[in-house]
């Protein structure tokens, strides 16, 4: 066994599952707090798992009791219990970081205070429909209405295109704590996975992310038609942003590259991230390897985070039929450089992340040529 310490993870979705794939190779036990048969538990047989919710204080406490280091694969967790157990068990990243980041508006204010450029935001809590109209007058349309909390995969976002959308936007999200963001008229979205260790801050390469309906669809490593100066600037900005937070582990940093080449941070995830899945095949160490090593203070050679080969990742989302994700995976079986990941989730719902495919090749053009038929197939199924 490389390490006899036990890692506890709040959440047993696909990120927890891929973390366990990395932990299994090092024979490190990961205790998962989530419902029985969650994707992560399916591939990890031992009696250290806890059945319950990562939002439930007692369950978090139980996980802490059987673990040496506690981490997360989702930020929407009970941070108060994490604060309480932090005296007895290591919590990485810090509960303070999790509490700050899980509120997207608080996160933006914090980044701004630390000199990091973010999209301009306005608090809308308690301001009702009139608040939205006021934002429309000051920011202009479109603007992005966002829920401060419990937001992921675009569930919590509403593009307000004109004053005529205000009522529908409020109808959709009005019961949640809201803020608004000025529209970022970006040329491209970029992302960088950052690794915070006991010794400092390292980064994986910059990738391009393509979102459809506010959900990540594709990532390109390296980004298409972006200069090395910009990819380096993105890594530096990501480092600066993550340097402002306490604790160890990997962080996903999403950015907008504006038309004048200025970079703005969109948001930060205090955990492995969809935009880092490509690292499993494309880098010597994956984001999951890096996360485990960072929280356990194990060595991470910086060159282990380099891009070994260009890669493209395509998400497999739930579609119009219950088995469309299986059809996509089956189609990818005939693609020689496609690594297929299915997450073992139960039912497919439209837009639910069911798996992903990564193609690596000696050049990005070759990877594009190989993945294009799969992208076409996904688009056809979507109708």
Q: Which residues bind ligand ATP (CB under 6 A)?
A: 119, 144, 146, 151-154, 156-157, 181, 183-184, 189, 211, 214, 254, 266-267
Beta strands 30-34 and 50-51, pairing class:
parallel
Element (H, E) at 187: strand 186-196
CA distances to 87, 222, 302, 324, 338 from 206, rounded to whole Å, are: 36, 7, 15, 31, 21
In terms of CB distance, is 34 or 254 closer to Mg ion? 254
Residues 159 and 142: beta-carbon distance below 8 Å: yes
In terms of CB distance, is 154 or 174 closer to ligand ATP? 154
Shortest distance in whole angstroms from residue 45 CB to ligand ATP: 30
Shortest distance in whole angstroms from residue 24 CB to Mg ion: 28
Q: If contact means CB under 5 to 8 A according to the sort of partner, which of Mg ion, ligand ATP, none does residue 144 touch?
A: ligand ATP
Please provide residue 143's backbone torsions phi and psi, each rounded to the nearest 5 degrees.
Answer: -135, 165
Q: If contact means CB under 5 to 8 A according to the sort of partner, which of Mg ion, ligand ATP, none does residue 189 touch?
A: ligand ATP
Binding region for Mg ion (CB under 5 A)? 254, 267
In terms of CB distance, is 254 or 370 closer to Mg ion? 254
In terms of CB distance, is 16 or 156 closer to ligand ATP? 156
Shortest distance in whole angstroms from residue 84 CB to ligand ATP: 27
Count CB atoms within 10 A of the CB of residue 320.
10
Shortest distance in whole angstroms from residue 210 CB to ligand ATP: 9
Shortest distance in whole angstroms from residue 297 CB to Mg ion: 28
In terms of CB distance, is 75 or 92 closer to ligand ATP? 75
Shortest distance in whole angstroms from residue 181 CB to Mg ion: 12
C-alpha Rg value of the chain to the nearest Å: 20
Characterize 33-48 residue by residue with b for buried, 16 or more Cβ atoms within 10 angstroms of its Cβ, and e for exposed: bbeeebbbbbebeeee
In terms of CB distance, is 96 or 211 closer to ligand ATP? 211
* CA within 13 Å, CB half, 154: 13
Q: What CA–CA distance (Å, rounded) separates 108 from 103?
A: 9
Q: If contact means CB under 5 to 8 A according to the sort of partner, which of Mg ion, ligand ATP, none does residue 184 touch?
A: ligand ATP
Scanning the structure block, which residue is given the tokens 């591939």? 43
């Amino acid at each position: 066994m490389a390490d006899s310490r036990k890692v506890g993870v709040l959440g047993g979705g696909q990120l927890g599952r891929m973390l366990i794939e990395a932990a299994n190779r090092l024979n490190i036990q990961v205790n998962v707090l989530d419902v029985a048969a969650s994707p992560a538990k399916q591939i990890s047989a031992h009696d250290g798992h806890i059945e319950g919710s990562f939002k439930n204080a007692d369950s978090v406490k139980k996980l802490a009791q059987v673990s040496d280091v506690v981490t997360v694969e989702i930020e929407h967790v009970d941070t108060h219990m994490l604060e309480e157990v932090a005296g007895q068990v290591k919590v990485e990243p810090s509960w303070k970081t999790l509490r700050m980041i899980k509120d997207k508006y608080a996160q933006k204010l914090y980044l701004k205070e630390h000199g990091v450029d973010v999209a301009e935001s306005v608090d809308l809590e308690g301001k009702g429909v009139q608040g939205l109209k006021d934002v429309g007058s000051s920011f202009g349309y479109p603007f992005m209405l966002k829920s401060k909390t419990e937001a992921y995969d675009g569930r919590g976002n509403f593009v307000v295109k004109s004053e005529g959308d205000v009522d529908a936007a409020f109808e959709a999200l009005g019961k949640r704590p809201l803020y608004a963001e000025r529209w970022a008229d970006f040329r491209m979205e970029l992302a960088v996975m950052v690794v915070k260790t006991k010794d400092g801050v390292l980064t994986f390469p910059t990738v391009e992310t393509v979102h459809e309906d506010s959900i990540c669809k594709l990532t390109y490593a390296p980004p298409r038609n972006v200069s090395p100066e910009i990819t380096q600037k993105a890594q530096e900005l990501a480092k600066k942003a993550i340097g402002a937070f306490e604790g160890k582990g990997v962080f996903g940093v999403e950015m907008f590259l504006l038309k004048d080449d200025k970079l703005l941070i969109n948001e930060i995830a205090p955990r492995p991230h969809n935009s880092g899945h490509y690292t499993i095949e494309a880098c010597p160490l994956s984001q999951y390897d890096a996360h485990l090593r960072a929280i356990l203070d194990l060595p991470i050679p910086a060159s282990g985070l380099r891009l070994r080969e260009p890669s493209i990742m395509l998400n497999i989302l739930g579609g119009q039929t219950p088995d469309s994700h299986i059809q996509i995976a089956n189609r990818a079986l005939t693609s020689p450089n496609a690594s297929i990941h299915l997450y073992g989730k139960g039912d497919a719902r439209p837009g639910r992340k069911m798996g992903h495919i990564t193609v690596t090749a000696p050049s990005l053009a070759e990877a594009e040529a190989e993945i294009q038929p799969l992208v076409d197939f996904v688009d056809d199924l979507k109708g």
